[in-house]
Structure 1
């Protein structure tokens, strides 16, 4: 930490990463509304270019909805090995500036540059140089937020996308947060945003007016966190040894199913995908969750925590089958199933991170990639 006790944190976020890689590699796609994913009737958008976002196309949107919003939308299939390779290039650049790198996904990370390894005048200069190198070495643009904590740095990077950066200096965080809509806060999802609005909390300023007791009453254990961030406070360190929280895979069926055979075939295929990742990364976890998306797009999950980590593929398969069978007979047709492992054995996960067994083990957004891959 700097001599004044203030951290210097940069949040780097690639701009429309998957779509930008595709536009870089195929110049005919530049300037066109583009979706990475599959345009089939049951497909899902994995990522959208800024041209597509202007029409309301978003990741996780059904392909049919995306095409209604933007009839000229171009779909390209995802190439995850290419995205991972580019991500490794970007992280190699980060490593020239700090050892304190916390990946959030293939395309974003926190960097603690308090130590100032390169001797640059400010963290703002460091972020500018990193972004320039990313552009020169990959042909892609990135946005950056610079501040004295992680929460503010991430908010700041969102304010200047695409291809920009913003600094929130010490003493300015509280005012910066109060000016923002509550939906812009990292960690406030759609459900929490709706609940806050019902409580007449629409902005950071509104959140700041609430007492800690009020927030704990309405939001439980999250109350102190909301109280702190409304004041621009976040004491979390950048953690280069961040342990993966879950690994999952999902598939969207070509048609809705109510019969056990195709439903269970999908569950087993997803269980096999997850186990293949476990074998590759040598990670083991105790909790198995099966996700179901019904024909009306409502979702449900069923979970089971085992006494010890899942040790083999057959155990994962059987547990997944037991969970999906618990919802029989289905109340509606099922359009999507997924299998996720969580509650990882921390000692195994940390040891494998230290051995450098691949970037994926630190990438909490990997399940989203698998959603697209199987859509």
Structure 2
């Protein structure tokens, strides 16, 4: 589907959009054959417009958005739907009395700069509401998270979630973790449980999530461990915290926080090789030894003999000094024992002595 007028193949930009549409069609077909998933696609001049075009005709459709149709498309798009304008920045712009991208195009650069304070931010908003996006498309090396989720048409109780849906979602997530581990040699460290439920304070339905440590078990036991961990989180959120109330209309399990796993072929020698490379030292553990001539062998033998003699001499001197120190310590201790004074007698000061002390009669036996 094409938004706006038909493409003019005499124009280079429209010709590029047509080629992009052919590539997107082929990719969607390959995804369906391999994964049995339907895919929607958007073809335009940048990431922002392609995203809006892909959401225009879902499901299993692709949409071409030429630049001539951009003003009509962006006219009724809410500011909150634009990338980067969903938070505080979007609220600041709404304070000027605008709520859609079409209304924001009437604001000039000076007005935006006075309101937002910085020229760079004002320039970003000025281009964004007009469908201009200069960010490059970067190839994603690996996914940051793995998700298995389910939306319920009929609201479910905890028993239904525990007996029916958690085992299915945990098994699907475990299969994705195994495939990702084999492809990227990494392990997930965090398990996030997301759900949609009612608030006990009467504020209606809310989306909430809780995180816990991913069970580090074998592939066969991981499914049951994920079910147990998710069930514990749900019981804590609904029973102990008492913030949420059943029934549940959505449940999701996400594996995140990946870390690389060391390969089995790595050894301690490779660790020291990496450390030596960082420090600039050379590691010649595996370097071939050169053949020595007879003269070199004799010289090496003399050096070893001399080193051995030096070690023996040093050891002998150390022993003599140690024994001399022991004898000296014993002599000092004996001298202290001989010079040790006896118990001191208490002496009275002269100023406290009286005449009666000298003429005190002795006690005589009768």
TM-score (norm 1): 0.42
Normalized per residue, the structure richer in helix is 2
Structure with higher Rg: it is: 2
- More relative contact order, 1 or 2 (CA 8 Å, 6+ apart): 1
Normalized per residue, the structure richer in strand is 1
TM-score (norm 2): 0.43
